Amino acid sequence: MDWFGRAKVAFTHSPSPLALQRKDGAATDLLKVCEASTPTCQLNPLLFNGDLQTMWTAVKEDGPPIYYRRKIFDADHKTYTGTFTVDFAVDPHQDVDDSLPPRTAFFSEDEFAKIGSDDTRPMLIVLHGLSGGSYEVYLRHAIAPLVLEGGNWDVCVVNARGCAHSKMTSGVLFNARATWDVRQIVNWAKRTFPNRPLFGLGFSLGANIMTNYVGEEGANCPLKGAISVGNPFDLEVSNKALQRSLLGKQVYSRVMGANMKKLINTHKDAVLKHTNLNFDRIQKVTFLHEFDREVQTVTWGYPTENAYYRDASSSDAVLGIRVPFLAISALDDPIAVYDAIPFQEFTQNPYTVLLTTSLGGHLSWFEIGGGRWHARPICNFLKHMATEINLDAITPTANGEAPKTQFVTEFDPVRRKLQVLDN
């Protein structure tokens, strides 16, 4: 047990971290920025392990009062059709829309038509965890210092399809490698706010998606930096770990399976209209892996849920990242487990740094008094990058040379096994 809630903090990184230049011309590197952004991790000593930290999230907490305006986007991909919603953090408003989460209302057409800007304010694009949305408390804690208390950031949250009271308008559901919606929004933001530095942040399943996205984009990624929090990385390892323990299977996997089944039931009419899913079989689902077997394999054509997990995992994608990238993980996380963290991959890519804490649970990091520690390194890192680092001087070329090998080979870290064929 760590003494009185004081968690150990460690960094895993390349021997030659990405060189960075400060705006005043001084030299630094990605590791130094991450270290400077990370405060002491002092957590609530009564929540002294990952299970207690994680289960404490069930205790009702109001969280920071973040207000949103929602926009429905039409997907611009010929295969991944339908709509999805994006919630933009805005000033407090009095609008009430019972069809949306708390403090959320739709943009009017006139309001959204004027959203574009030539300003240079930094902008953050956020992905939430499994079955969640922009309303999640862990998410609001993380963005509150950026949009409240004089924060000068614009923040938007891309809701996974069907989540956060959004409608399903096609048979295309989200999955752990569903990078198409975040890609569309990043490209839209780049066009709409051409002078803004864009950053990405993902939590849990959203962290896996964000990691896959920046890995897939590689040197062409429009983001100036990204953060992954509580990423399960290797989904097959994480899922098998859930099934091995009593709490993992009977609490975490059961709760997540129930949440996903509830999500499908909420959209019953759309599921029956747009998909070939067996709705009655989904009603018999208990655990998360059973849901993935009935939904993800049927929707996408994976032969098994484990094939889906292997294909959707983001552990290899770490090697493809070519923007400054910070991953934050708790070593006692019972959902995004220790064994799934790709430590070696972080040592091979100078664009990446892995920050681990010995305590914290899954997206928890509860401090004495109810604060959430993860909000501080997230906001410190983003503010440091946006205000102190010369972002234009960052180049997508890894430090040093690739090691010599016996054979002429090429490793593609984001190659997918599943290919969606055009009809």
Residues carrying an active site annotation: 204, 333, 362
CB 205 within 8 A of CB 173: no
Region of residue 84 (left: phi > 0; alpha: psi -120 to 50; beta: else): beta
Q: Which residues have C-beta within 8 Å of that of residue 329, sequence separation ≥ 6?
A: 229, 230, 231, 336, 341, 354, 355, 356, 357
